Amino acid sequence: RKEVEQDPGPFNVPEGATVAFNCTYSNSASQSFFWYRQDCRKEPKLLMSVYSSGNEDGRFTAQLNRASQYISLLIRDSKLSDSATYLCVVSSNTGKLIFGQGTTLQVKP
Amino acid sequence: ETGVTQTPRHLVMGMTNKKSLKCEQHLGHNAMYWYKQSAKKPLELMFVYNFKEQTENNSVPSRFSPECPNSSHLFLHLHTLQPEDSALYLCASSQGRGGDYGYTFGSGTRLTVV
């Protein structure tokens, strides 16, 4: 089983849609969780941290379910500029970060 | 300059050449990383340095040789590469192991081996 698993997609959605990505992780001892965004041919950039209580940043909501070992990212009112690959990131036992393969989102006009 | 800076942005090299990639971080972080990302593939961790000591080498071929003279600078020396080594090479840094604030990435060096 992969340490961090994501559906690679692509997710094709119209502008204004709500889209959700899930990510599962194998290490129940993981303590830190993040979502990164990577645009085509660019470096990954931190989108948001994921806290146990869930957190929201504008149109983006991240949630953590420790019991089921999954993380979600919800994007409301999708914009064309949201088109990118979204990487789920989880800490290992040693604290090192493990990156998922990413989920590609294409928002269409 | 701020953040993590990588040079060069693009590099084309022959299989017999020797070149070096440079990374510099201005964030006061103590850990630095080299990642490889091939087209449409996930990030592959290559090397980890913590306080300029190498703490991880993920079975990387010896034609890739890292160097970390201090906590702010990281190099990747390249020699006798193969065409399949063509990829985006990303440097990252973090405070501690990255659990609090994640990693900050440089813009990468896009390497083409001909």
- Report pLDDT digits (tens) over A6-18: 999 999 999 999 9
Query: How deeply is A69 buried, as exposed, middle or buried, from its count of CB atoms within 10 A (0-12, 13-18, 19+)?
Result: middle
Does the pLDDT of residue A106 top 70, yes or no?
Answer: yes
Mean pLDDT of chain B: 93
A85: chain B residues, CB-CB within 8 Å: none
Per-residue pLDDT tens over the stretch A50-99: 988 889 999 999 999 999 999 999 999 999 999 999 999 999 888 889 99
B54: chain A residues, CB-CB within 8 Å: none
Contact B102/A at CB under 8 A: yes
Closest-CA residue of B relative to A31 is B99
CB contact under 8 A, A95 and B99: yes
Does the pLDDT of residue B1 top 70, yes or no?
Answer: no
Whole-angstrom distance, CA of residue A41 vs CA of residue A25: 26
Widest pairwise Cα distance in chain B = 42
Strand order across the A4-6 sheet? A4-6, A19-25, A70-75, A60-65, A55-57
Q: Which residue in this structure is represented by tokens 């971080």?
A: B25
Q: What pLDDT is recorded for position B41? A: 84
How many residues are recorded in chain B? 114
Mean pLDDT of chain A: 95
Does the pLDDT of residue B2 top 80, yes or no?
Answer: no
When CB atoms are compared, the residue of B90, B94, B99 closest to A43 is B90
**Stronger pLDDT, B106 or A41, i.e. the higher one:** B106
Contact B110/A at CB under 8 A: yes
Q: Name the residue among B113, B98, B99 with its Cα closest to residue B4.
A: B98
Query: How deeply is B52 buried, as exposed, middle or buried, from its count of CB atoms within 10 A (0-12, 13-18, 19+)?
Result: middle
